[in-house]
Amino acid sequence: MPRILPGETDIYALTDARLSLGRPVLEVARALLDAGVRLLQYREKRLPAGAMLEECRELRRMTREAGACFIVNDYVDIAMLVGADGVHVGQDDLPVPEVRRLVGPGMIIGLSTHSPEQARAAVASGADYIGVGPIFATQTKEDVVAPVGFAYLDWVAWHIRLPFVAIGGIKAWNAADVAAHGADCCALVSELVGAENIGAAVDKVREAIKAGKAARG
């Protein structure tokens, strides 16, 4: 199975059926994969478990064919059932050591973090990568914490050696700034799944990240 971590690729795309202009998740995922996205997370909250399982089974097939890494948000059981490459959990979900007991040594575990203390704890817990954010205000996630801005991102870039992905309110117009502050990988939702032309949106974000990384000197 593909084991691609943030930093080994520049764009981490998340699904969200509510923001996909009425298009099915599988159609949007196909467009993302065709555009070269190699790190895809399934993040759907409003479907019955059986429906999520069926979508994830198909996404597992699609990502495997594309050579992409497939991550399931929150649902450790579904990730295990479909043979996903990884699972992503939040601060209020199962602790990383307990997730590891369930999924075994081979599956990627990502953990959302919002502070230096949480980042240090994530490293100690055995997480494979961390989410850093929300960098900016975002409406794509319910019960989201306040934006952390660039201060926490700067801190992680300097102090944490674990792979990380910046997330939260990232768009094509601000992705260069995020990359300039140390993020080699940016997670995006509405900017990609809500685009009329997903391929063009991916290209635009990718160029912005490239420019931001170049600006680091």
Exactly one of 38, 112, 190, 206 is catalytic; name it: 112
Task: Decide: helix, strand or coil at residue 108.
Answer: strand
Based on the residue annotation, tell me whether 141 is a catalytic residue of this protein: yes
First to last CA, the chain: 35
Q: What type of residue is 116?
A: P
Whether residue 45 lies in the annotated active site: no
Residue 143 has which token pair?
């019960």
The one-character DSSP state at 177 is H
Catalytic residue, chosen from 43, 60, 204, 206, is: 43
Q: What is the C-alpha R_g of the chain?
A: 16
Which residue of the set 60, 141, 204, 206 is catalytic?
Answer: 141
CA–CA separation, 184 and 173 (whole Å): 16
Active site positions, annotated: 43, 112, 141
